[in-house]
DNA sequence: CGGCTAATGTAATCACCGGTACGTTCACAT
DNA sequence: ATGTGAACGTACCGGTGATTACATTAGCCG
């Protein structure tokens, strides 16, 4: 957060700046690793204000988490399936999700961090559940259409597809460092981006258009 | 670490116990979140011994990380492709990897933690790189055989396949909590295990047997 | 046995870090 | 213009947590 507007006494702005910087710091260091002093020092205000606006480190983290989750629009929202052929729509969704994840690495890291803490904080943020609902609804509509047309297998539901796509995209960002070290491939190398994006598109398209491996719907 | 052998003065045992407990605690709380006192209290020795054997919290974590990585045998090692049809071999590898990840959640969590720290610790453990080499080699052999037989597409390399499989399996364990909360599906629910295992098998089998989406090898 | 070192226990130290007491100043309403 | 509360700053506190100084004992080797 470098200086921008040098106004004095602007509650909204101070609060927003703290939240933005806290997001960066928590994402960079984890909850326990983040330092309240560090967050304060990176703003043009002081530690006192963190407690004035948020009350505690924990509540600040909760605010960061909620803000991050609300700020993320599921890639599904940018998908306008229109009358795209279902398979093309899903491929497009996969590739959108890929780009979406790559450009929101702080969010991805916060999710990792939250899982390290067994989801103990997000579990207090009940209102988030609804956000992803309609995103899944969009995907579900596409799959239904594909099944009707007989071009998409019937033993897979929207959540399964979402899981496969998210896993792949998430991994690229979340495990960049260990994977890069062990295999000498920087997953986020711009030169590989098209290759990696195409892969997840190919994967879901091939998967969904294949015949069910066992007759009849199996999803529970 | 509950009591087992009540011998006194056993260096090997003390060291091993510390390492095992430290693995649990680091995996449970992250590096910064883990407490040296906590680790010591869970053993039948004292904090002093951590410093006697490992020197510092950081070196203890490094030892945990290295031990965990060495202790993990890539699922590829349990794959004996023999003369299985290539596609079946890859499907089998995917399903093996799935079970493998599910039964090593502490390791998965350590990997997540290490990535939160930008891989700064694993980058000091240069010797690990070799471990995964021959694992990839096995997969590479299967793919090569499949390409020769014309049953596996030629625009995908072993690392790509490994990435797709690992991503899916890793996500299940690593993001269990946030995903479970947001979508009301416990990814590790035993009742879903067969369903989820089958999915990754279907995914790679369908993907690899499909025709390349663009003519000619594209992998870099 | 005597002694010598590896191994262990106890009790501190010291920095760091989340949180707060207290005082000040801005800006808006009247 | 000025009273008033919201917004902010400074300096500090108290606990915690990593690390260590020092004392002790166990076991082996001769």
Cα distances (angstroms) measured from residue A91 to each of A100, A137, A175, A198, A207: 14, 17, 23, 9, 11
**In this complex, which of B115, B156, B159 lies closest to A185 when CB atoms are compared?**
B159
Tokens encoding A3: 């200086």
Mean pLDDT of A110-117: 98
Tokens of A75: 């890639």
Percentage of chain A exceeding pLDDT 70? 93
Question: What are the pLDDT digits (tens) for B155-200?
Answer: 999 999 999 999 999 999 999 999 999 999 999 999 999 999 999 9
Whether the pLDDT of residue B7 is over 90: the answer is no
Give chain B's mean pLDDT: 92
Distance CA B153, CA B144 (A): 10
Q: What is the pLDDT of residue A219?
A: 45
Residue A6 has pLDDT above 70, yes or no: no
What pLDDT sits at residue B220? 42
A159/B183 touch (CB, cutoff 8 Å), yes or no: yes
Residues whose CB falls within 8 Å of the CB of residue B43, separated by 6 or more in sequence, listed in order: B1, B14, B17, B18, B21, B49
Average pLDDT in the A207-215 region? 86
Confidence of residue B214 (pLDDT cuts 50, 70, 90): low
Indicate yes or no: CB of B116 within 8 angstroms of CB of A114.
Answer: no
- Asked if residues A115 and B29 have their Cβ atoms less than 8 Å apart, the reply is no
| Tens of pLDDT, residues A20-72 | 999 999 999 999 999 999 999 999 999 999 999 999 999 999 999 999 999 98
Instruction: Give the mean model confidence (pLDDT) for residues B58-67.
Output: 98
- In this prediction, residue A189 has a pLDDT band, given cuts at 50, 70 and 90, of very high
Asked if B30 lies within 8 A of A128 by C-beta distance, the reply is no
Q: Does B144 touch chain A (CB under 8 A)?
A: no
Q: List CB contacts of B86: < 8 A, sequence separation 6 or more.
A: B142, B143, B145, B146, B149, B151, B152
Residue A167 pLDDT more than 60?
yes
Do B205 and A209 count as a contact with CB atoms less than 8 A apart? no
Q: CB–CB of B112 and A114 under 8 A?
A: no
Q: Which CATH class is domain A73-209?
A: mainly alpha
- Residues, CB < 7 Å to strand D: A 8-11, 14, 44-49, 52; B 7-9, 34-37, 47-48, 51, 55-58
> What per-residue confidence (pLDDT) applies to A214?
66
| Nearest nt to the A51 alpha carbon by C1' | C19
Question: Is B46 part of the contact surface with chain A (CB cutoff 8 Å)?
Answer: no
Give yes or no for A45 touching B (CB within 8 A): no
State, as a whole number of angstroms, the distance between the CA of B138 and the C1' of D19.
46
Query: Which one of A97, A107, A155, A202 would you mutate to disrupt binding with B, by most B Cβ within 10 Å of its Cβ?
Result: A202
**Superfamily in which the A11-69 domain is placed by CATH:** Homeodomain-like (1.10.10.60)
How far does Cα B88 stand from its chain's mean position? 22
pLDDT at residue A215, rounded to an integer: 53
Of A178, A183, A210, the CB nearest to B119: A178
What are the structural domain ranges in chain A? 11-69, 73-209
Tokens 């204000």: give the residue.
A49
- DSSP E strand stretches across chain A: none
Q: How much is the pLDDT for A131?
A: 81
pLDDT band at residue B40 under the 50/70/90 scheme: very high
Reply yes or no on whether the pLDDT at B48 is more than 70: yes
Q: Tens digits of per-residue pLDDT, B92-148? A: 999 999 999 999 999 999 999 999 999 999 999 988 888 888 889 999 999 999 999
Please indicate whether the domains covering A11-69 and A73-209 agree at the CATH topology level.
no
| Helices (H), ranges, A45-130 | 47-53, 57-71, 86-102, 105-116
Task: Count A/B contacts: CB-CB distance under 8 Å.
Answer: 182
């Amino acid at each position: 957060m470098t200086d921008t507007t040098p106004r004095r006494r602007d509650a909204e702005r101070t609060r927003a700046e703290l939240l933005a910087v806290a997001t960066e710091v928590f994402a960079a260091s984890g909850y326990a690793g983040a330092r309240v002093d560090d967050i304060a020092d990176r703003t043009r205000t002081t530690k006192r204000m963190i407690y004035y606006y948020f009350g505690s480190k924990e509540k600040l983290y909760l605010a960061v988490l909620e803000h991050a989750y609300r700020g993320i629009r599921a890639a599904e929202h940018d998908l306008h399936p229109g009358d795209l052929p279902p398979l093309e729509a899903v491929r497009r969704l996969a590739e959108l999700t890929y780009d979406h994840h790559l450009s929101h690495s702080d969010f991805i890291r916060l999710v990792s961090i939250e899982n390290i803490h067994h989801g103990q904080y997000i579990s207090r943020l009940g209102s988030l559940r609804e956000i992803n609902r309609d995103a899944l609804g969009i995907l579900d509509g596409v799959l239904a259409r594909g099944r009707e047309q007989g071009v998409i297998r019937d033993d897979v539901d929207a959540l399964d597809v979402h899981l496969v796509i998210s896993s792949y995209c998430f991994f690229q960002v979340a495990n960049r460092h260990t994977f890069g070290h062990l295999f000498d491939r920087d997953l986020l190398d711009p030169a590989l981006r098209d290759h990696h994006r195409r892969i997840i598109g190919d994967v879901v398209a091939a998967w969904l258009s294949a015949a069910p491996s066992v007759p009849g719907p199996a999803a529970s």
